[in-house]
Amino acid sequence: MGLFSRAKKSDPAPESGQATAPAGLVAALKASGAGPEAVVAMGLASTPAEAQRLWDSATSDDPRDRLPAQVIEIADRGLEARNATLASLTDEAGLTQAGQWNVDLATGDFVWEGTRGNVVCADVQVLGTRSGTSNTWLWGWANESLPAERVTASTAIREFGESGGVTVLTEPGCPCKEDQPWAFCNLAIGLGLGSFVYKGNSGPTEVYLLLPVPSVVPN
């Protein structure tokens, strides 16, 4: 049941820090449980009235800005681990942008072809998908077309969000532009649900696959 397959490699290079616009900062403050007074304290507004206006109107299309600070810390640790795994797999398997990939959703078997070897993994999870047409994210657990065995990790993230009242982790989906799903991917790794996330394209859909323990089989 290789629903997602044969697309070209599309995993990004290691990430660096991400700039946040003022509106995003206010949205992040709201998510952290702070109050409007924090907007003044950070120098984003000069008066309480202006701070309240920004507070009431602040929105952000970046899911990361809806994550509390302590959750972002977990995601940042996941980012470091993901980049380290990517470097190791690239060196060992000779991965390139042209590498083919395939996943069997029935068995959870995953293959990513390199010039010196293939990255393989069992029990792969579909963390979620992003539509390049509508710029929206859909969690794996909310996608009724996926087998239950492939969405246990995304379900664990939903339960983590429920325990902490983080709604962006408990809603079926959210607005999400290109590259923004990596905050969710890094969080999954930071929570110990997997060690790497592969992004593949299936038409206009981006598929984010969580790999528990990838290994390399030499050619």
Per-residue tens of pLDDT for the chain, all 219 residues: 344 444 444 444 444 333 333 556 666 666 666 777 877 887 778 888 887 877 666 656 788 878 888 999 999 999 999 999 999 999 999 998 788 999 999 999 999 999 999 999 999 999 999 999 999 999 999 999 999 999 999 999 999 999 999 999 999 999 898 889 999 999 999 999 999 999 999 899 999 999 999 999 999
pLDDT (0 to 100) of residue 8: 42
Q: Does residue 55 belong to any structural domain of this protein?
A: yes
Kindly state whether residues 79 and 94 are assigned to the same domain. Answer: yes
- Cα 129 to Cα 170: distance, rounded to the nearest angstrom: 15
When divided into structural domains, the chain yields a total of 2
pLDDT (0 to 100) of residue 29: 67
H or E stretch covering 91:
helix 69-93
Q: Does residue 187 belong to any structural domain of this protein?
A: yes
Kindly state whether residues 122 and 193 are assigned to the same domain. Answer: yes
Interior angle at CA 33, CA 32 and CA 39, nearest 5: 85
124 three-state secondary structure: coil
pLDDT (0 to 100) of residue 33: 66
Residues 6+ apart with CB under 8 A from 204: 131, 132, 133
pLDDT (0 to 100) of residue 160: 97
Supply the range of the domain harboring residue 123.
Answer: 61-218
Kindly state whether residues 207 and 124 are assigned to the same domain. Answer: yes
Kindly state whether residues 48 and 139 are assigned to the same domain. Answer: no
Last residue of a domain, one of 12, 42, 59: 59
Q: Does residue 208 belong to any structural domain of this protein?
A: yes
Q: Does residue 103 belong to any structural domain of this protein?
A: yes
Kindly state whether residues 43 and 78 are assigned to the same domain. Answer: no
Kindly state whether residues 175 and 137 are assigned to the same domain. Answer: yes
Kindly state whether residues 186 and 214 are assigned to the same domain. Answer: yes
Q: What is the pTM of this model?
A: 0.76
pLDDT (0 to 100) of residue 216: 97
Q: Does residue 4 belong to any structural domain of this protein?
A: no
